[in-house]
């Protein structure tokens, strides 16, 4: 047979498959109606497992793995269709709808905001980009920012989540797991690190360089040009500049130009980060769920069963609903032996029916599930 003959044969088989697939999905709609009438859940794990065993047994030996994969996807599509017909919901979807209805139309401008560090920190710059007139309070640690919101000292907190060069700020993920907080907005901030010194300090005078570990990582190649200089991590870049301003000299900080002016320093060398296109994404967190108009990004955390295909099944659900996943990251779980929490960022309108359907289904698909919020990002 020629290639064209095989293609004709494939086309004929595909035509039959499409008709059979449509029949199968319509039959699953009838099953959904019966389950609704009897108060049964859409997912019947025992039935699916038995069905999968049966169809794999019918397949030729060299097709068994492919058959299992095909039918696993069919089961996902069937459940997705049934949930859509039944209007899948959960307490979470009710909470989301309530937040959409009750959140003010305008993002607040004059509010109390907690930031980690001291004046001039990049978190403050991000805060100023998010709010017109923030009443900023500074705290010594990320943990203290969460505590300030829990105690009612501040309404919001602004924290760094990830950098385009150095990756995620892992401590924030761990704290988001620990505290029941929500993301209400995010902002992307261009990061320029500068070598700041006390006036009159020369390059050859520098014996120590202070900065935050993320900034040190982002300037790794640049720092290799210094011979015999000790690089010392500190709480953040603004504290590094403050430490230099209070020193006797002979040291420098990797920090922002805002800190140069704030602490009376000089910029010895500008924009010293290894990558010019260096951005950090900051999140604005709240104790309460607030969903402002235009929210088109959602963050989730989930723990899945420790078995083959568990992540694949969840990703299939995103795919079946046509939802774009723009971030997937795993985080080891404290006190658990090689178990991981998965962090997801979805790009989808909070008003779409597909999004609400997913929120109705996800709690039943995961061993543990946390909805971190739906929000828009300021660029």
| Structural domains in the chain, sorted by start | 3-86 (1.20.59.10), 89-103+294-379 (3.30.70.260), 106-191+278-290 (3.40.190.10), 194-269 (3.40.190.10)
Please report which confidence band the pLDDT of residue 59 belongs to, taking 50, 70 and 90 as the band edges.
Answer: very high
Closest CA to 253 of 132, 263, 42: 263
pLDDT tens digits, one per residue of 135-171: 999 998 999 999 999 999 999 999 999 988 777 888 8
Please report which confidence band the pLDDT of residue 52 belongs to, taking 50, 70 and 90 as the band edges.
Answer: very high
Residue of 122 and 313 predicted with greater confidence? 122
How many CB atoms sit inside 10 A of residue 182's CB? Answer: 22
Q: What is the mean pLDDT of residues 355-364?
A: 84
State the pairing for strand pair 194-197/251-255.
antiparallel
What was the pLDDT predicted at 36?
A: 87
What was the pLDDT predicted at 139?
A: 94
- Average pLDDT for the chain: 91
Q: What is the mean pLDDT of residues 263-270?
A: 95
Q: What is the mean pLDDT of residues 105-123?
A: 93
pLDDT tens digits, one per residue of 309-352: 788 888 888 888 889 999 999 887 767 776 788 999 999 999 99
What was the pLDDT predicted at 81?
A: 87
Question: Which 3 state secondary structure label does DSSP give 180?
Answer: coil
What was the pLDDT predicted at 88?
A: 65
What was the pLDDT predicted at 177?
A: 78
How many CB atoms sit inside 10 A of residue 267's CB? Answer: 17
What was the pLDDT predicted at 92?
A: 87
Which runs of consecutive H residues, i.e. helices, occur in 271-348?
Answer: 310-320
Q: How far is residue 89 from each of residues 95, 353, 360, 374, measured CA to CA in Å?
A: 11, 11, 4, 17
Enter the pTM of the model: 0.81
What was the pLDDT predicted at 369?
A: 86
Residue of 173 and 51 predicted with greater confidence? 51
Q: What is the mean pLDDT of residues 6-15?
A: 95
pLDDT value at 235 more than 90: no
What was the pLDDT predicted at 363?
A: 79
């Amino acid at each position: 047979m020629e290639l064209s003959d095989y293609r004709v044969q494939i086309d004929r088989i595909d035509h039959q498959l499409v008709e059979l697939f449509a029949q199968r999905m319509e039959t699953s709609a009838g099953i959904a109606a019966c389950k609704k009438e009897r108060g049964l859940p859409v997912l019947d794990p025992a039935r699916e497992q038995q069905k999968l065993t049966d169809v794999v047994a019918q397949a030729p030996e060299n097709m068994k793995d492919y058959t299992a994969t095909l039918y696993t996807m069919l089961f996902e599509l069937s459940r997705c269709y049934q949930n859509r017909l039944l209007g899948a919901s959960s307490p979470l979807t009710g909470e989301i709808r309530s937040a959409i209805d009750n959140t003010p139309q305008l993002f607040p401008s004059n509010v109390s905001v907690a930031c980690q560090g001291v004046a001039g920190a990049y978190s403050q710059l991000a805060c100023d980009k998010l709010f017109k007139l923030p009443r900023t309070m500074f705290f010594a640690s990320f943990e203290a920012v969460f505590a300030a919101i829990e105690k009612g000292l501040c309404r919001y907190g602004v924290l760094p989540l990830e950098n385009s060069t150095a990756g995620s700020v892992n401590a924030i993920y761990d704290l988001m797991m620990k505290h029941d907080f929500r993301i209400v907005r995010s902002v992307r901030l261009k990061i320029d690190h500068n070598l700041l010194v006390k006036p009159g300090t020369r390059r050859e005078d520098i014996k120590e360089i202070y900065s935050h570990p993320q900034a040190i990582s982002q300037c790794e190649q640049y720092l290799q040009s210094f011979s015999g200089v000790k690089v010392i991590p500190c709480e953040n870049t603004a504290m590094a500049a403050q430490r230099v301003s209070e020193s006797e000299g002979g040291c420098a900080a990797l920090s922002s130009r805002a800190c140069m002016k704030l602490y009376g320093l000089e910029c010895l060398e500008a924009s010293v980060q290894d990558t010019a296109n260096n951005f950090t994404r900051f999140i604005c967190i709240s104790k309460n769920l607030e969903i402002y108009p235009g929210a088109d990004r959602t963050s989730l955390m989930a723990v899945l069963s420790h078995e083959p295909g568990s992540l694949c099944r969840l990703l299939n659900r995103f795919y079946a609903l046509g939802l774009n996943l723009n971030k997937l990251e795993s985080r080891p779980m404290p006190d658990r032996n090689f178990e991981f929490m998965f962090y997801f960022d979805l790009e989808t309108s909070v008003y779409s029916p597909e999004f609400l359907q997913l929120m109705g289904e996800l709690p039943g698909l995961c061993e543990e599930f946390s909805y971190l919020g739906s929000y828009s990002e300021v660029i």
